[in-house]
Every structure is written in structure tokens, then in C-alpha cells.
Amino acid sequence: MTNFKNVLVFIASFTIAGFAGVATAKHMSDHNIEERLKPVHSVYVEGDEVPQVANAAPAAAGGGSSAARSGEQIYNTNCMACHTTGAAGAPKIGDAADWNARMEKGIDTVYSHAIDGFNAMPPKGTCADCSDDEIKATVDYILENSN
């Protein structure tokens, strides 16, 4: 019976020591447990100050005025998918014959088609937030690179 008591004492002391080790483990600290139990989402209604989201529109870089993008930037971002491949009949950049045929109608018509849309091209292509001047600069960029 003494051996049995020794075994029980050994198991009990091992178990208590094991739990003591777990209780002091880093992942079981009060702070970590509290973090894991925090709600994942919060619900806010109009007028509430939302701590993790700005409630005001961000100011434009450069003191409030947005800088116009260059024709090249707009072309590379919004136009090249169609005007490099000729998708849906789009005139390709670098193809002087394609663009000369369009220029016979005058630059104002080419600008108008680019701004208002024409055939398969939607208004302003895929750059809905472009200004008319930015679209004109993009047309100029394409024409300069198509002679």
C-alpha cells in the first residue's frame, strides 16, 4: 500500500506543478485573455464618433488641391488594356494609320469621343474620376506616341 500512496503523491505533485506551469504561461496572462475575449466588431450609428475610422473626408495631398494626373499616367492606368491590344476595335497606340483616320474628323471630335464615349468605348474609358482636361491630355499623349 505504501507504493500506491507514493504513486498518488507523485501524480498529485506532478499535476499541481503542471497546472502551476500553465497558470504562469504567457498566453494565459490576464492581459492576453482579455484581448482574446474582446468583441470582434462594434456597431455605430450616425453621429457616433468612430474611434478607428476618420469621420471627416481626408484632405487632398498638397494643401487641399488635387494635382492633375499626366496623360501618360492615365493611359498606363486606365487606357492601355484596350489601346495597346486593339480590343473591341480600339485604335492602338503607335498605329499612325488608326489615329490619322480619326484625326481627319478633327481633334475636337477625338476629344469628344474620348470624353463622351464612342462605339464600344464608354465615356472617359475606364477613368470615371478623370476630368475632361485629363482625358484631353491622355488623348494628346496617345497621339504623340502614334506618329
Residues 100-144 pLDDT 10s: 989 999 999 999 999 999 999 999 988 989 999 999 999 999 999
- The yes-or-no verdict on residue 79 having pLDDT over 60 is yes
In a shared domain, residues 79 and 18: no
**Under a CB-based contact definition with an 8 Å cutoff, are residues 91 and 99 in contact?**
yes
Q: For residues 77 and 50, which has the higher predicted lDDT (pLDDT)?
A: 77
In a shared domain, residues 75 and 140: yes
Specify if 115 maps to a domain: yes
* pLDDT classification of 76: cutoffs 50, 70, 90: very high
Q: Which domain holds residue 17?
A: 2-37
Q: For residues 56 and 81, which has the higher predicted lDDT (pLDDT)?
A: 81
In a shared domain, residues 32 and 80: no
For the chain, how many structural domains are there in total? 2
Residues 6+ apart with CB under 8 A from 80: 93
Residue 7's pLDDT is: 59
- What is the signed CA dihedral for 121, 107, 85, 76, rounded to 10 degrees? -90
Determine the 3-state secondary structure of 24 from DSSP: coil
The predicted model scores a pTM of 0.55
In a shared domain, residues 86 and 133: yes
Specify if 82 maps to a domain: yes
Specify if 55 maps to a domain: no
Cα distance between residue 132 and residue 111, in whole Å: 9
Q: Which of 133, 67, 122 is nearest to 90 (CA)?
A: 122
Residue 1's pLDDT is: 57
Specify if 44 maps to a domain: no
Domain with 114 in it: what CATH number? 1.10.760.10
Q: Which three cell numbers stand for residue 65?
A: 488641391
In a shared domain, residues 130 and 78: yes
Q: How far is CA 139 from CA 39, 66, 73, 99, in A?
A: 52, 21, 12, 10
Please, what's the b/e burial string for 75-89 (b: 16 or more CB within 10 A of its CB; e: otherwise)? beebbeebbeeeeee
What tens digit of pLDDT does each residue of 37-73 get? 887 777 777 777 766 655 555 554 444 445 789 999 9
Specify if 89 maps to a domain: yes
Specify if 13 maps to a domain: yes
Specify if 96 maps to a domain: yes
CA 121: distance to chain centroid? 24
Specify if 132 maps to a domain: yes
